[in-house]
Amino acid sequence: MPDSDPALLQVEELSVRFRAEAGMLTAVDRLSFELRRGETLAIVGESGSGKSVTSLALMRLLPPPPGCEVSGRVLLRPSNSHDGGGGGVDLLGLAPEQMRQVRGNRIAMVFQEPMTSLNPVHPIGAQIAEALVYHRRISRAVALEAAVDLLERVGIPEPRRRLASYPHQLSGGMRQRVMIAIALSCDPDVLIADEPTTALDVTIQAQILELLADLQRQSGMAVIFITHNLGVVAEIADRVLVLYAGRVMEQASVLQLFDYPLNPYTTGLLASVPVLDPTAPTRQGLHAIPGNVPDPQRLPAGCAFHPRCAHAVAGRCDTAVPAVEAADGGHLVRCVRWREIHQPETVP
């Protein structure tokens, strides 16, 4: 890497393929991105876009071959740039035992459904302490003390009393706070949050988003936030990766993406979000993207979005998968027609 401050996490050509009835199915197709310290990267996509599979691949939580094949590189560099320079380790090359030292320690994850992610038969204090005992090799008593601090940090009232609570005694928002406490227990450098607020009510979602932003400010951790909700993206992301059918469609800063979306899919997605506008007439139709999200077993040839795209041209969009091209300011787009589309004066 020529960059003087190499990225904390560097993903290169990550591909994930699953064995299916009709041969191998590509869930993630040569995905590359970087994550810097303290940064929030949002990965946006619909069902089948590969966003959750990406997070599981980074955590090495996918099943082993031959059911699933993961290729590419996931470089995790040391958290302090002065201790060891730009080297880093390729997580995909680690032995399971080595990966266990990284998972939950340097990279932690928060899942969508806090009820199924917590163990219902153990009190939450023990579940928070577990990671600390394993990774920090401290006693259970010390770990439980640390759990009190963690519960306090994630805004759970009466944390000491709560240690003995079981997951079913907590509300959905409180359970998600416990999940975040577990994820933060070992001060991770990278937090992967996979739709952490999707199962929550909107008022609780707002609380959790604010909590994550505060914790990130305090700790300087980098966050990968996986979501389908562009409103949430606008609230929390520094940079955004838009996935469709396992491929990057666009990668940009959050302002670039909302101000100048370059891929027609992104434009359509932004336009289809209902906006609270008191001045708009009611019973107003929304801009809809026609068609359906493609079946990963039967991806359209060429650009996977072309059957739904108003700008698609036969012979150009349906032949080869478009390359990712660089626009201004680090903005990346996968569309053979992005220049024409964004210069309306030139005749296509």
Binding site for other proteins (CB under 8 A): 46-47, 171-174, 201-207, 209-210, 228-235, 237, 254-255, 258, 268-270, 272-280, 282-290, 292-293, 295, 308
CB nearer to other proteins: give 72 or 172.
Answer: 172
Give the CA distances from residue 192 to residues 58, 59, 99, 278, 307, in Å, rounded to whole numbers and listed in that order: 9, 9, 16, 35, 32
CB nearer to other proteins: give 95 or 276.
Answer: 276
> Do 77 and 6 meet the contact criterion of CB atoms below 8 Å apart?
yes
Name 151's Cβ contacts closer than 8 Å, sequence gap at least 6: 124, 128, 159, 162, 163, 177, 178, 181
Per the DSSP assignment, residues forming a β-bridge with 225 are 42, 193
Q: How far is the CB of 288 from other proteins (least distance, A)?
A: 4
CB nearer to other proteins: give 32 or 253.
Answer: 253
CB nearer to other proteins: give 32 or 198.
Answer: 198
Q: How far is the CB of 118 from other proteins (least distance, A)?
A: 17
Q: How far is Cα of residue 155 from the mean position of the Cα atoms in its chain? A: 24
Q: How far is the CB of 121 from other proteins (least distance, A)?
A: 18
Q: How far is the CB of 15 from other proteins (least distance, A)?
A: 23
3-state secondary structure of 123: coil
The residue among 106, 104, 158 whose CA lies nearest residue 128 is 104
Which two structure tokens, joined as six digits, stand for 21?
Answer: 């009835």
Q: How far is the CB of 328 from other proteins (least distance, A)?
A: 18
Q: How far is the CB of 112 from other proteins (least distance, A)?
A: 13
Residue type, 129: A
Q: How far is the CB of 201 from other proteins (least distance, A)?
A: 4
CB nearer to other proteins: give 23 or 290.
Answer: 290
Q: How far is the CB of 103 from other proteins (least distance, A)?
A: 30
Q: How far is the CB of 258 from other proteins (least distance, A)?
A: 5
> Do 247 and 29 meet the contact criterion of CB atoms below 8 Å apart?
yes
> Do 89 and 107 meet the contact criterion of CB atoms below 8 Å apart?
no
- Burial (CB count <10 Å: 0-12, 13-18, 19+), residue 321: middle
Residue 79 dihedral angles phi and psi, to the nearest 5°: -70, -35
Q: How far is the CB of 178 from other proteins (least distance, A)?
A: 14
How far, in Å, CA of 28 to CA of 280, rounded?
A: 39
CB nearer to other proteins: give 102 or 223.
Answer: 223
CB nearer to other proteins: give 63 or 231.
Answer: 231
How far, in Å, CA of 105 to CA of 184, rounded?
A: 9
Name 171's Cβ contacts closer than 8 Å, sequence gap at least 6: 204
Name 219's Cβ contacts closer than 8 Å, sequence gap at least 6: 184, 187
CB nearer to other proteins: give 1 or 255.
Answer: 255
> Do 254 and 43 meet the contact criterion of CB atoms below 8 Å apart?
no
CB nearer to other proteins: give 280 or 314.
Answer: 280
CB nearer to other proteins: give 328 or 345.
Answer: 328
